[in-house]
Structure 1
Amino acid sequence: MFFTVLTAEFIHETNTFNKNPTDYDAFTKYFVYFGDHAIKERGHANTELAGFCDCARDYGWKQTHVLSAAAEPAGVVTRDAFDRLGGAIVKAAGEHKEKLDGILLGLHGAMVTEFCEDAEGELLERLRAVVGPDMPIAIALDHHGNVTQKMCELANIVVSYKTYPHVDMRECGRLAGAILQRTMKGEIRPRTLRVHRPMLEEVNCGRTDVGPMIDRIAKAIAYEKEPGVFAVSINTGFANADIREIGPAVTVTYDGNEAKHRAFAEGIADDIWKKRFEVINDYMSVEEAAEIAKAYKRGKGPLIIADYADNPGGGAYGDSTNLLKALIDAGITDAAFGPMVDAETAKQLHRHTVGDRVKVQLGGKFDPRFGGGPLELEGEICLISDGFYTCDGPILGGLHFCLGETAVLRVGGIDVLVVSEPTQILDLQQFRAFGIDPAAKTVVGLKSMQHFRAAFEPIAGKVIVCDSGALTTPHWEKLPYRNVPRPIFPIDREIEVKS
């Protein structure tokens, strides 16, 4: 028996503290592909869609792919953007519902709109209104989703990534599709349970390369082999969303004995809670990081300094100047730094030619309270570019992106990558495509949170992380929360939870 499956990807990680709303244009600047064009662009790489396409080939599905759309993390998604993109998915489901056997979606799990805290739950509710309660729906989610009860009630199948850095998106999509296949065949009738703890996020942001998450993931994978268990997901949460259903949640997609499976999920959640004070990363000040850079001897590879707090991949503005200023003040040379998200300065640099010396006011323009104000600098233009590049690393290898108007400005001994569109550094090509070889530098300052490790740790002599005071600071208690339920850890550090 062959089935007809509707697929789509609609992805956004919303930082509600970012004052820049995510409109339809923000999606088109990152990517919006429809139908077969989406499959051509994303169906061969480490994406949920590639996993969906694997299933379509393996099981002989007739796959109707609606769209693949994502925007770089930023402020709340506008109603117009949600209605146009989510609405296209719902419209297609309505048009095809008589022939559909199932729906398979790649979502994030932390999208917030200007009218709804739980955008994924809202999308699923609209789909259910069209296709009814019996249509099997599977969703693949990011490891950092704030997974709500509504998502788990409206989707039969919930599967999240098990890696951070995320290198298993395709595998996640394939697993969700495999469970959907068994459901459509009538072999199983899955549903998903959820347990949760009152935390903003797992204390180490869900790192799976070191620390307690390694053992948790191993237990989850082992438990998936138990009878009646199809997927176990340990969702870290996303602390930069000021919403009610925030924080780490464990989900189990199962058929059968709910009490047993809930007890397993509670055990994992208890471990997350019990180890809430066991922070792995040492978040240095920018001055401390600069002093280490000043004393660093290159050896086997560069010193990588990651600014966790100005990570565009978590919705930070990407224009914090505090780390760059500290490196300049320390006299650091033979260095690279990026990105500095500053469309105004990029445009200014594009009015010049390579080799010109120019004076600029760089960065710090979105909200100087978070990470520092503009720097008055003079430098030499080393490169001017349209910003297009193709990734070749383990996370996004083979996928195409654009930084908008881009330039490299050499300030003293530091090559600064100035871009127009925010992006997290997680691939070597984000430097190499613009004439900077990070492996050949002594010091590389970059704006990223954990994802950079997949591509940059293999070339690094040493890796350190710092907090520049920008919008994705790991010290969440510094953020102006208003909507999260109280008490909640770590804002309320004395809170106790009974196991």
Structure 2
Amino acid sequence: MAETIWSLRDETHPTGLSIDEAFDTALASESGPIIMADHADNAGVGAPSDSTYILQTILDKNVENVASGFYWDPVAVRFCVEAGVGAEFTLRIGGKVGEGSGQPVDLPITVRKIVSNAEQSFGRAKQTMGCGVWVSAANNLDIFLNSIRTQTFHPDAFEQFGLKISDKKIVVVKSTQHFYAGFAPIAESVLYVSAPGSINMNFSEIGFKKFTDPYWPKVADPRSA
């Protein structure tokens, strides 16, 4: 049985597109929405849900008409709540929890809406999200923040703020797979993005400090190493 499992390693190994590959694919499509899953920052697996790698790429590439969320950032949420709907200021988003979060992004934003008790569907249940905030930035970029860390399950997480997901070219969700049942029916396509982060599924890139033995997939055949 061990040999059978070993022989299937390449077929069963999780794969994904690089951030650049994902955006090249999405922007080549004439329609949307294209759903991008940032599975390396999935709070449901223990990630902080505040990584900024994909967000920074959106800004660097000047990608238009994107929605991205949810960023667990109670500090940013608090600033937005205190400023109020309609406020315009430079907000520091994400990149606060640890090394896997990337760098904070300082972005001029407008506070569009605040939902004090945000929630989203997960099957027949409702998942609390704490205080949720919708902010917008240049190039029709919509960013969603919340105060209770949770992955993104369903389009109604965004739509409770008044955003129509079907109008967006790209929607970035911080989730691995639980998002699929809700988002796939409205998606032009779904892309799994292998971004840096705490739950990086590219196991060959894990920066072990004490474990030094050869292992797959860093080594093609560790048994002969």
Does the 8 Å CA contact 1:387/1:404 hold for their aligned counterparts? yes
Q: 1:443 to 1:463 in 2, by over 3 A?
A: same
What does 1:281-296 align with in structure 2 at a 5 Å threshold? 282-296=15-29
Percent identity reads 28
Which residue, 81, 87, 104 being the options, matches 1:374? 104
Q: Which residue of 2 aligns with 1:312?
A: 43
Which residue, 478, 483, 486 being the options, matches 2:205? 478
- Per-residue Cα deviation, 1:453-488 (whole angstroms, up to 9, x for no partner): 221111111111212211111112322446879565
Q: Which residue of 2 aligns with 1:420?
A: 147
- Per-residue Cα deviation, 1:82-122 (whole angstroms, up to 9, x for no partner): xxxxxxxxxxxxxxxxxxxxxxxxxxxxxxxxxxxxxxxxx
Q: Which residue of 2 aligns with 1:329?
A: 60
Structure 1: 5+ residue stretches without partners: 1-265
Task: Note if 1:357 corresponds to 2:88.
Answer: yes
Task: Note if 1:435 corresponds to 2:162.
Answer: yes
Does the 8 Å CA contact 2:14/2:201 hold for their aligned counterparts? no
- Per-residue Cα deviation, 1:21-72 (whole angstroms, up to 9, x for no partner): xxxxxxxxxxxxxxxxxxxxxxxxxxxxxxxxxxxxxxxxxxxxxxxxxxxx
Q: Which residue of 2 aligns with 1:383?
A: 113
Does the 8 Å CA contact 1:320/1:468 hold for their aligned counterparts? no
> Which structure has greater strand proportion?
2
With a CA cutoff of 8 Å and minimum separation of 6, indicate the structure with the bigger relative contact order. Answer: 2
User: Secondary structure of 2:68's match?
Assistant: strand
Does the 8 Å CA contact 2:48/2:101 hold for their aligned counterparts? no
Letter in 2 for 1:457: A
Q: Which residue of 2 aligns with 1:278?
A: 11
Which structure would you say has the larger Rg? 1
Q: C-alpha separation between the residues in 2 aligned to 1:420 and 1:481?
A: 31
Structure 1-normalised TM-score? 0.42
Q: Which residue of 1 aligns with 2:130?
A: 404
Q: CA deviation at 1:270?
A: 4.3
Q: 1:356 to 1:316 in 2, by over 3 A?
A: same
Root mean square deviation, CA, Å = 2.4
Does the 8 Å CA contact 1:286/1:466 hold for their aligned counterparts? yes
Q: C-alpha separation between the residues in 2 aligned to 1:437 and 1:270?
A: 49
Does the 8 Å CA contact 1:390/1:398 hold for their aligned counterparts? no
Which residue, 439, 449, 453 being the options, matches 2:176? 449
Does the 8 Å CA contact 1:364/1:371 hold for their aligned counterparts? yes
Structure 2: 5+ residue stretches without partners: none
Does the 8 Å CA contact 1:321/1:371 hold for their aligned counterparts? yes
Q: 1:438 to 1:482 in 2, by over 3 A?
A: same
Q: 1:484 to 1:457 in 2, by over 3 A?
A: farther
Letter in 2 for 1:372: G
Q: C-alpha separation between the residues in 2 aligned to 1:273 and 1:485?
A: 21
User: Secondary structure of 2:89's match?
Assistant: strand
Does the 8 Å CA contact 1:426/1:451 hold for their aligned counterparts? yes
- Per-residue Cα deviation, 1:333-358 (whole angstroms, up to 9, x for no partner): 22210111111101100112222212
Structure 2-normalised TM-score? 0.87
Q: 1:481 to 1:280 in 2, by over 3 A?
A: closer
- Per-residue Cα deviation, 1:189-231 (whole angstroms, up to 9, x for no partner): xxxxxxxxxxxxxxxxxxxxxxxxxxxxxxxxxxxxxxxxxxx
Q: C-alpha separation between the residues in 2 aligned to 1:293 and 1:307?
A: 14
